[in-house]
Amino acid sequence: MSSSRALRSSPDDPSWVLDLGNLTAALLPEGLVLQPMWDHLQQHHQPLLRSPLFPVVLSVSTYFVLVGLYTGLDLLAPTWPCVNRYKLHPQRPVTSVHVCSTLGVTLYNHLVYIFPAAVAQWLWRPATALPRQAPTLWEFLLGILGCTMVFDFQYYLWHLLHHRVPWLYRTFHAVHHQYSQPFSLVTQYLSGWELFSVGFWATVDPVLLRCHCLTAWGFMVFNIYVSTEDHCGYDFPWAMHRLVPFGLWGGAPKHDAHHQKPATNFAPFFSHWDWLGGTNTSTTSSTLSGTTPTLSTEEEVKEEMKGIKTKLQTIHLCFYLLITTSSIYDTTVT
């Protein structure tokens, strides 16, 4: 339809509605919102996007950027009232000792578990196929929502099982509950098995739902964001549990309550599974300011740091032996 015809059409003529719809469809094709960005990414960053290492780099960098921001707030909060007012436990600051302890375990997990898995993925996984067409905005958002709901159900069952079976709790999950007042670095203060389980679902769920690779990467970033927010120890006005209506999203207050009442609030994100399973608990002021010890004592943390230092020294020795052996082999071959 020409623009002159649109201007000449009478408001009483119903044909102008149909013509306007056709004009809108022509000017705003289904994938227009994300297509220019997707075209730009493919044109300028295709080798990076196709690399099997890209999802790992995206996940790890997103996590450390978010954790860095929250950790900076944790260290500034005692002297910045404008930040401290949003803490769930404003009277209990996060110290540099606790940051070093959790950061040590996080680095250990990345070196021992994530780095070898990334190398294996780089060696054996084929390059990612990049479709020419971007997902529509609805496909992108609904794909992230679907993956989040599937992940939420999977982790709810895993979490419930590892709390109800004492051996599973002691062996795999108890390490995460050493801190009854979580802060951002506690997000990946995990055993190797739990880290593997979470990473496996976050990788496989977009494949099961047949999501576009851009949707899969969006879900990875969103999943890390909300997981870190759950453990951040803050109740900001823009937090997810304040944006999602009807109490459907648990958020940091609910997960903080779980760390103090471990038999409740097993779902990582949504609240409906805990409502249905009878494991939901409200985040009352008494729950958030109870007498449960917030963090490990400094003596426990120091002992833990000694163990982490020993593990890192062992890793360093293994890398040194690997490089030395590789150099000797190359010299022998040449």
User: Which tens digit of pLDDT belongs to each residue from 231-287?
Assistant: 999 999 999 999 999 999 999 999 999 999 999 999 999 999 999 999 998 765 444
- pLDDT beyond 70 at 326: no
Q: What pLDDT, on the 0 to 100 scale, is given for residue 286?
A: 43
Nearest to 259 by CA among 236, 288, 225: 288
117 by Cβ neighbours in 10 Å (0-12 / 13-18 / 19+) ranks as middle
Token look-up 């080798």 returns 47
Q: Smallest Cα–Cα separation from 270: which of 111, 147, 136, 105? A: 147
Tokens of 158: 């895993």
> What letter represents residue 167's amino acid?
W
> Alpha helix (H) ranges present in the chain?
3-8, 15-27, 35-50, 54-76, 81-84, 96-109, 115-124, 137-164, 166-168, 192-208, 213-231, 240-243, 251-260, 272-277, 285-288, 298-333
This prediction's pTM: 0.78
Query: pLDDT tens digits for 293-309?
Result: 344 444 544 554 455 44
AA identity, residue 116: P
d(CA 8, CA 253): 58
